[in-house]
Amino acid sequence: MVDEKAIQMAQEKFGALVRRQLERVEVLKSEGDWVDYSKLDKLIIGVCGGDGIGPYICASAQKVMEVLLADKIAAGKVEIRQIDGLTIERRVEVMKAIPDDTLEELKKCHVILKGPTTTPAKGDPWPNIESANVAMRKELDLFANVRPVSVPELGIDWTFYRENTEGSYALGSDGFFVSDDLAMDFCVATTQGTERIIRAGFEHAKKTGTNYVSIIVKANIIKTTDGLFVDLADKIAEEYPGVKHDVWFVDITTAKLIDPARRSDFKVFVLPNLYGDIITDEAAQIQGGVGTAGSANIGKRYAMFEAIHGSAPRMVTEGRAQYADPCSMIKAVALMMDHIGENEKGRKLGMALDICCQFEKKLVMTGRNTGATGDEFAQYVLDTMGRADLEQVWQGYVDAAIAKNAN
């Protein structure tokens, strides 16, 4: 017999979720314009180490960032602030994804460099609190998760625009058991949230001259929310006549990313939250692993830059944290440079990372004392970036790799 009381309780819970999302839609309708960093008297950069290996790799990346911005820091145009409070211990202590005082300090910054944070999972010793990443994206409205992947010798130059505040993650901590036998979670899509991530992808394709956007969905099965994604992409595409766009299902996309005959054709991807999380990890593995990939989380008011991997607490307990690979965090610094208008510094840092990670490999990260420490690797990247012949060296390696791959 159907439990009518359980249905009534579920209706009440679902109604509260719907109300919150409708209230959010009203906020989205009135969001302001993008911050113009060039008009700021001072750019404030917050640095949050996170937990696990986060403080170690974040410190290595901060070293690179401070060298790149040394002139602006000396002139008082850039201020770097250390912000604590995102450790799992502190978050559990207050039972919040982000402690209130930490969130207050984050909101005083314009951009944030953030190390990985631990998200409790089923079976962990920690209680069930929301991901700090998900909470920060929602609290600061960081709606665009931008992840570039580049493997020059394979002809791969991809940029992923993953929707960051909706989809299957929006209510990730708000699912519930209707009864002992029925558990339900929810997927959210709004017109406003979907339009802005799609438009961001098209703008990037137009600005960079790549002029090709692939919309990744599963709209043949997930017909409502993914269907909205497709419909709005078709509508927005009319505003960008010079940009080709097509629609791919997420399952075949995972296969085509490893198809040598197809993968180099892709340029810009726009995806709902869950698909973007999965696909970008696959793409990062093609590049060399999740440790090589950085991530930008962009909103109109704030921006946050981070690695795409987790906090690896085992490395800390085993005394190996200083050997954690900082490449992902240094890549995040390169993305930050692009975002704040230091495009040339970001471009050269990207070249230096290619040389150090994919070509020369004079220092190797093994995660143990058989390889370099994170600080040693950061200095290697800085030394490489400082070479007068950086561009010629990078182009030489790329040309040689392409020729080798063609044979």
Residue 406's pLDDT is 72
Which DSSP symbol is given to 167?
B
Rounded to the nearest 5 degrees, what angle is found at the Cα of 97, between the Cα atoms of 94 and 99? 50
Model pTM score:
0.87
171 backbone dihedrals φ, ψ, rounded to 5° = -115, 35
DSSP string for 225-255: HHHHHHHHHHHHHTT-TTSEEEEEEHHHHHH
Q: Which amino acid is at 108?
A: K
CA dihedral 387, 344, 215, 282 (to 10 degrees): 30
Rounded to the nearest 5 degrees, what angle is found at the Cα of 60, between the Cα atoms of 55 and 64? 135
Q: Going edge to edge, which strands form the sheet with 156-163?
A: 78-82, 43-48, 111-114, 303-307, 294-298, 144-151, 156-163, 268-271, 212-217, 244-249
Q: Which amino acid is at 193?
A: G
Q: Which amino acid is at 388?
A: A
Tell me how far apart the alpha carbons of residues 99 and 107 are, in angstroms, rounded to a whole number: 12
Closest alpha carbon to 273 in 218, 327, 339, 220: 218
Residue pair 99/90 in contact by the 8 Å Cβ criterion: yes
Domains of the chain, start order: 34-343 (3.40.718.10)
In order along its 407 residues, the chain shows pLDDT tens digits of 788 899 999 999 999 999 999 999 999 998 888 899 889 999 999 999 999 999 999 999 999 999 999 999 999 999 999 998 999 999 999 999 999 999 999 999 999 999 999 888 777 788 888 889 888 988 999 999 999 998 888 889 999 999 999 999 888 778 889 998 999 999 999 999 999 999 999 999 999 999 999 999 999 999 999 999 999 999 999 999 999 999 999 999 999 999 999 999 999 999 999 999 999 999 989 988 777 778 999 999 999 999 888 899 999 999 999 999 999 999 999 999 999 999 999 999 999 999 998 899 999 999 999 999 999 999 999 999 999 999 999 999 988 888 887 76
Beta bridge partners of 162: 145, 271
Closest alpha carbon to 283 in 310, 312, 253, 303: 253
Tell me how far apart the alpha carbons of residues 52 and 50 are, in angstroms, rounded to a whole number: 7
Tell me how far apart the alpha carbons of residues 210 and 8 are, in angstroms, rounded to a whole number: 52
Residue 20's pLDDT is 93
Tell me how far apart the alpha carbons of residues 27 and 72 are, in angstroms, rounded to a whole number: 35
Q: 3-class SS at 210?
A: coil
Residue 173's pLDDT is 75
- Give residues with Cβ within 8 angstroms of 134, minimum separation 6: 97, 169, 172
Residue 252's pLDDT is 97
- Give residues with Cβ within 8 angstroms of 15, minimum separation 6: none
The region that residue 126 occupies, defined by phi over 0 for left and psi between -120 and 50 for alpha, beta otherwise, is: beta
Residue 3's pLDDT is 87
Residue 109's pLDDT is 97
